[in-house]
Structure 1
Amino acid sequence: MKTARLVFVAFVLFLATNCLFWACKKSSSERGSGHLRVMLTDDPAEYDAVYIDVQKVEVNVSSDSNTSSGWQTVNVLRPGVYNLLQFSNGIDTLLADADLPAGKLSQMRLILGDNNSVVVNGQNFPLKTPSAQQSGLKFNIHATLTAGIVYRLWIDFNAGRSIVTTGNGGYILKPVIRTYTEAIGGSIKGYALPGVAKPQVWATMGADSLLALPDSATGYYFFGGVAAGTWNLLINAGDTTYKDSTFTVTVSTGVVTNAGSVLLPKK
């Protein structure tokens, strides 16, 4: 009886260990990141030019409802001085471009350098930044980054309201900013089994053709950042003793489409 109990306990521990292993395996396979593109744009203003010295962008992304997990730096593609008035009336410029962990994007901080100025009637005046903003211009975002989805986020300056005249003829930068986001394309996820069939997954739509190699243990595959529309999926068996499978899925902007689990049959 004692031996039977020991065998039973060992069996339970074996199952628990394997369950944990497969859970971790699936989690690591499905873990992903969203792609964020930060765009800079501006409302028109009655100045000759408004120059801001953008050095760095920082974001606060959390995997859950707790948004106090800290700041992450998103490298600016071209650090330096930008004339805001060049990006009005629907014109924008790509400021930063990066992959970020999927989760809640709660806040963003724009770190400026010292070369900020405004040109009034042909004369250049330095733009002073209040001490409270010298650690960065912080504003709330409240967007959700989904793994495999590309997002564009616009930092929209209101240059006309962001510059305050001082009593001695100087100018202070007190930014008035709004932000808005747009999800671009969608994603496809699914499972292609069994692993011994050595499946490859092809996704095609028009001239676009993408290839994914499923995880050898779980069969999980993923196509990220694909255009919205109807995609043809071909699960091609590398082992010729198995049959291929074809079907279509419809991808929507900002959505991860679940293609389900496909078990390739024997010929």
Structure 2
Amino acid sequence: MYFCQSINRYNRMKSNFYTYYLIILTIILFTGCNIEDVSENAARLRIKLTDATSLTLKELHVDINEISVFATDSTNIEGEWITLDYSGGEYNLLTLLNGKTVQLVDQYFPSYKKIEKIKIILGNNNRIVTITDAPVPLQLSPEIIDGVVIENINADLATNVISSIIIDINAALSIREINGNWFLRPSARAFPETYGASIKGYVAPIEANPYVAIIQETDTFFTFPDPDGMFYFFGLNEGAWDIYLIANPESNYRDTVFTDTLSYGQKLELTPRPIRLVFDAP
């Protein structure tokens, strides 16, 4: 039953992927945290941006105005919002793939805190650029005008230890079109950098113009490989993952589908290297 459901989901996914705009983007928030002031008891706070792909777009710019965290500690269990030292910026997320990052914030931060929520306030200059070089503005959905709040992070910050929090925004679920207008409403998760397992592999030939998808129950993640065929996923739950190497239908290469099981924290490197897609002569 599970196999049949997986195959049906794969067929729908492949059809939809080559019919609609599909974008994957990830924001990584690296929090080197331990500090009440700039002293030996302080922590370092770093924020980086990473990992975005698109099949039909050339650029996807996200305008970030402000980043803040909701922190608690033993003396303030109710918690408070703390605005980070960040001056804002626009980022073309499609230049960031498979672990590449750009740093957003690097600051000291009070130690012995627990970060439970993160809020990102977006500006008004979010946009996509299509393969025809035509920029298309992205409007903000009304429900996120006051910010995008990501909950259930539970990242403990210890003195003199660099902690990292990763914010993962799945743009395949974050951009929608209504009556000719495009809207941005980020669908995001967040977790400590040390959480979870990872999958790394290589696919060939690049002429197949493949993309890679992994699925576990309701979780689906996508990426396009680097020019050398490398693809990378991280922050993954343990258990079985279906891995799809899907060729562009016009390339005449055959898709490959298999399953691998991850243990907690495992860094899985797929073999053979590369995994070669089979050519079907037209």
1:68 equivalent in structure 2: 78
What are structure 2's unaligned runs of at least 5 residues? Answer: 1-38, 195-282
Q: Distance between the aligned counterparts of 2:116 and 2:98, measured in 1?
A: 27
Please give the TM-score of this superposition, normalised by the length of structure 1: 0.52
How far off its partner does 1:101 sit? Answer: 1.6
Partner residue of 1:179?
190
- Amino acid in the other structure paired with 2:157: L
Matched, 1:59 2:59: no
Q: 1:160 aligns with which of 172, 180, 192?
A: 172
Q: Supply the distance in 1 between the matched residues of 2:97 and 2:190 (Cα, whole angstroms).
A: 15
Match of 1:148 in 2: 160
| C-alpha distance 67-172 of structure 1, shift in aligned 2 (>3 A) | farther
Give the letter aligned to residue 154 of structure 1.
I
Q: CA deviation at 1:60?
A: 1.0
- Number of the residue aligned with 1:230: none
CA drift at 1:151:
1.9
Q: Give the match for residue 96 of structure 2.
A: 87
Q: Which runs of 4+ in 1 moved over 6 A?
A: none
Contact (CA 8 Å) 1:63, 1:101: kept in 2 or not? no
**How far off is 1:105 after superposition?**
0.5
Secondary structure at 2:143 match in 1: helix
Cα deviation, 1:76-95, whole Å, max 9, x if unaligned, reads: 2x622111111122111111
Distance 1:158 1:42 in 2: 10
Q: Give the percent of matched residue pairs that are identical in Structure 1 and Structure 2.
A: 30
**Equivalent residue in structure 2 for 1:97, among 76, 81, 106:** 106
Contact in 1 for aligned 2:168/2:190 (Cα 8 Å): yes
Q: Which string of whole-angstrom CA distances, capped at 9 and with x for unpartnered residues, describes residues 48-78 of structure 1?
A: 21111112110111113965322111122x6
Letter in 1 for 2:78: S
Do the aligned partners of 1:37 and 1:97 also contact (CA within 8 Å) in 2? yes
- Distance, in Å, in 2 between the alignment partners of 1:54 and 1:67 is 29
| 1:62–1:82 CA distance, 2 compared to 1 (3 A) | same
- In the aligned structure 1, how far is the partner of 2:157 from the partner of 2:142? 32
1:119-149 superposed Cα distances (whole Å, 9 cap, x missing partner): 2232211111112211111102211011111
1:116 aligned onto 2:120? no
Q: Shift in Å at residue 155 of structure 1? A: 2.5
Letter in 2 for 1:88: L
CA distance in 1, matches of 2:170, 2:51: 6
Number of equivalent positions: 153
Partner of residue 16, structure 1: none
1:130 alignment partner, one of 130, 141, 145: 141
| Residue 152 of structure 1, CA deviation | 2.6
CA, structure 1 residues 85+143, in 2 after alignment: closer, same or farther (shift >3 Å)?
same
Return closer, same or farther for 1:31/1:63 CA change in 2, 3 Å cut-off: farther
Contact 1:37/1:151 (8 A) holds in 2: no
Q: How many Å separate the matches in 2 of 1:139 and 1:92?
A: 20
* Equivalent position amino acid for 2:94 in 1: L
Deviations 1:12-50 (A, max 9, x none): xxxxxxxxxxxxxxxxxx994432212212342222211
Aligned CA-pair RMSD = 2.5
Question: Partner letter of residue 50 of structure 1?
Answer: L
> What TM-score results when the alignment is normalised by the length of structure 2?
0.49
